[in-house]
Amino acid sequence: MVHHPDQDESCNESSGANPATDEDSEASDGEEILSALRVPAADTDIAELWKAVSLCQKALTETRGKLIVATKDLCTLDAALPAKKRKGILNKMGPLNDNIGHVAKKFTMLYCLWVIDGLFPIMNVNNPNVDLQSAVRWDSDEAKRSAVLMELFLVMPESLHKEMVKYKLFGSVFTTVLNQERSNMLHAVKEASPLIFATLKVPDAIIFASPAHKRDDLDMWQLSMKEGMYHRLAPILFADPNQAMWDGFLKSPVLVNIG
């Protein structure tokens, strides 16, 4: 059978594919995979278990494929660089990358768990000096960027200010370390959460469920609602969620375990 390029074009047109739809689809797939990774209930239907296994296998296959492609690209780039030059670059940039990594970890813990769009590349070393307490910092994308840049300057040693602009891989190194640090923090939270909520008998599946599922769960309602409404004095803040007594305020087992 002869393949014609026109067939690809017609298929693309008929599918109506667009970036927004692809992103929505990927987000939906991601939620399904996260759901599949949770510990299933004892009465879960066999069909649902097969579906979960299928989703996880698909995700594993796709990830392995991307890893293979990335590894090949890395080998190609590595081979294209002369050995002496490659060694010199690695020796020179190693300490710089480590310093950037330290800043990224500090920034992750103190300010933000992600890198906003448009933060990099940084074009100059001028501190924006914005008021981080002002609501104006949220008025526009540019205002948000200036505020985050200001936070970055607060944790960035002066010795790295010029490198923020000069070093082309600064944004890449910073983002990579930040993403890894966020993943480490999330892993620690996931490990500790079942222990923290154990005394309240909240199922693990609900702790890590999406906000929509939490809103529909009766146990979470009873812990976060007061007289049927979200309230700043939520039952979960008290030693006994069923009795909001003044002497039990802020003595919740959750707060005690976190402290």
* CB neighbour list of residue 18: distance below 8 Å, 6 or more residues apart: none
Let me know if residue 10 belongs to a domain: no
Assess whether 25 and 52 both reside in one domain: yes
C-alpha–C-alpha distance, residues 157 and 184, integer Å: 24
Assess whether 106 and 142 both reside in one domain: yes
Let me know if residue 2 belongs to a domain: no
SS3 call for 12: helix
Per-residue tens of pLDDT for the chain, all 259 residues = 444 444 444 444 444 445 455 555 555 666 666 665 666 666 777 888 788 788 878 888 888 888 888 888 877 777 776 665 555 555 557 888 999 999 999 999 889 888 988 889 888 888 888 888 888 888 888 989 999 999 999 999 989 999 988 898 999 999 999 999 998 888 877 777 676 666 666 666 556 665 656 566 666 666 666 666 666 677 767 777 767 677 777 676 666 655 5
Cβ–Cβ under 8 Å, residues 143 and 136 = yes
Assess whether 173 and 96 both reside in one domain: yes
Bridge-partner residues for 225, per DSSP?
230
Look up residue 150 and give its amino acid.
Answer: M
Beta strands at 229-230 and 225-226: parallel, antiparallel or unpaired: antiparallel
Assess whether 94 and 181 both reside in one domain: yes
